[in-house]
Amino acid sequence: MSCCRRRPVAGPLPSNVDIIDFGFSPQNVTIAVGDTVTWTNTGSFTHTTTSGTTTGGTRHPDGLWDSGSLLPGKSFSHVFAQAGTFPYYCTPHFTSMTGTVTVNTTPIADPIQAHIAKGDITIELQPIVDGLAAPLGIAVPDDGSKRMFVYDQAGLAWVVTAEAGKLPTPLLDARSRLVTFGNYDERGLLGLATHPDFAHHPLVYTYTSEPIAGTADFVNVMPVGAMNNCQSVLAEWRIDPAHPNQVDPASRREILRIDKPQSNHNGGTLRFGPEGFLYISLGDGGKANDVADGHVPGGNAQNLQRIWGKLLRIDVDGRDSANGRYGIPQDNPFVGQNKAGDTHTLYFTAGIAGGGTVEDHGLFGGIAPSASVTANTTEGAQ
């Protein structure tokens, strides 16, 4: 039995666009005269859908439609009565949130594509782990045990093996250290990595979003009346010799603590490079477009005086940093360029980072440690 079949068009069709943080999905839609487009704010911030263009860094509304402020969960619909191409944007985020509606004169005869012929390749998916809240990644220690350490944003990391699946006791439980989550939250246990010589140094590294607890190693000064949202913390944990599938909670060693202006754009991916140094992705600080309290003109990510929006590179076995808890590789490209403080010399690369996962496009498998990699997008994965 076919999983889908063609059907005739019976009257005008709806087209749905999700307003996400921060973009329209899909960004471009094609419809016929008389069809309706409905925009729904599925994000966590207030957005609009406003017809018009954005040129020269300025909004140019044309008055065809304007949803006004759409709170999360709210929708707005518009019926297109004439053919043409209609650009639109989000009023508060017009520099990064734009879209287009193309309206054809003749209705699409059959919007559903023909059934794709079945090939001779079979792909079977089998669940490995279930019951997790928001699994973000996997770290594999190099000790020959064939274990996988699966970490969950909610604050737990689990040992998974091919034979036993997920072990009943977590490898690590960081829940008591995390911020209190909201209904929508990008904070949590966001990164985990194992020491590159795990067989001799059974150490696990985590990146967590924690409540403000004292002065950070990298301080963000907020305007009077405003406060940082939380602190991003890099920590080291040692495997318990008596329980090799669990860390010893008492072994926790804090390496780095960074003030965080807003709750989103956290970054958090941890990866060890082939030279043995730890790479850490940091978001730009939060909010939208790298603009808010705690952000400098032009954005944190493009400013070498600011740690946010960078890819860092440190030596977890060294101790020559300002706080004495990690080492600064001397072949980092920006060593010595920032006179604001010696600890700033841990930068590996500058660019804009919205946060989320670092993709491995050869960086951890061959690019020279002294290479400088920059990004030029204004919003990353959240």
Q: Of 51-55, 152-156, 357-361, give the lowest mean pLDDT range.
A: 357-361
Q: Beta partners for 119?
A: none
Pair of tokens at residue 240: 């318990």
pLDDT tier at 341, thresholds 50, 70, 90: very low
Over residues 71-94, the mean pLDDT reads: 93
pLDDT digit string, tens, across residues 191-245: 999 999 999 999 999 999 999 999 999 999 999 999 999 999 999 999 999 999 9
Residue 319's contacts (CB-CB under 8 Å, 6 or more residues apart) are 325, 326, 327
Reported as a pLDDT band with limits 50, 70 and 90, residue 107 is: low
* Choice among 128-132, 136-140, 157-161, 362-366 with the minimum mean pLDDT: 362-366
Please report, for residues 209, 272, 284, 336, 356, the alpha-carbon distance to residue 374 in angstroms, rounded to integers and kept in the order given. Answer: 25, 19, 14, 19, 16
Q: Is the pLDDT of residue 13 over 70?
A: no
**Could you give the C-alpha distances from 194 to 169, 205, 377, in angstroms and in order?**
19, 6, 30
Q: How high is the pLDDT of residue 27?
A: 92
Q: What percent of the chain has pLDDT over 70?
A: 83
- Nearest Cα to Cα of residue 240 among 317, 314, 166, 173: 173
Mean pLDDT of 71-76: 94
Query: In the prediction, which pLDDT does 333 show?
Result: 76
The sign of the CA dihedral 325, 330, 332, 334 is positive
Q: What is the CATH number of domain 135-350?
A: 2.120.10.30
**Sign of the torsion angle spanned by Cα atoms 340, 346, 350, 354:** negative
**Over 80: is that where the pLDDT of 11 sits?**
no
The alpha helices in the chain, defined as continuous H runs, are none
Residue % of the chain over a pLDDT of 90: 64
**pLDDT by residue (tens digit) across 195-205?**
999 999 999 99
In sequence order, which residues have a C-beta less than 8 Å from that of residue 264 and are 6 or more positions away?
Answer: 21, 44, 186, 283, 286, 287, 355, 382
The domains of the chain are located at: 14-104, 135-350
Residue 375 reports pLDDT greater than 60: no
Report residue 247's pLDDT band, with 50, 70 and 90 as the boundaries: very high
Neighbours of 297 (CB within 10 A): 6
- Of 230-244, 306-320, 358-372, give the range with the top mean pLDDT: 230-244
Could you tell me the fold of the domain covering 14-104? Answer: Immunoglobulin-like (2.60.40)
Whether the predicted pLDDT of 140 surpasses 70: yes
What is the reported pLDDT for 113? 72
Phi, psi of 187 (to 5 degrees): -90, 170
**Average pLDDT for the chain:** 84
Would you call 176 helix, strand, or coil by DSSP? helix
* Closest of 290, 282, 275, 274 to residue 257, by C-alpha: 282
Specify the amino acid at residue 281: S
Which is more confidently placed, 331 or 278? 278
Give the pLDDT confidence score for residue 289 in this predicted structure.
86
Task: Kindly state the average pLDDT of the residues 92-97.
Answer: 88
Distances (CA, A) of 120 to 114, 117, 123: 19, 10, 10
**Which secondary-structure segment (H or E) carries 204?**
strand 203-210
268-298 per-position pLDDT tens digit = 999 999 999 999 999 999 998 889 999 999 8
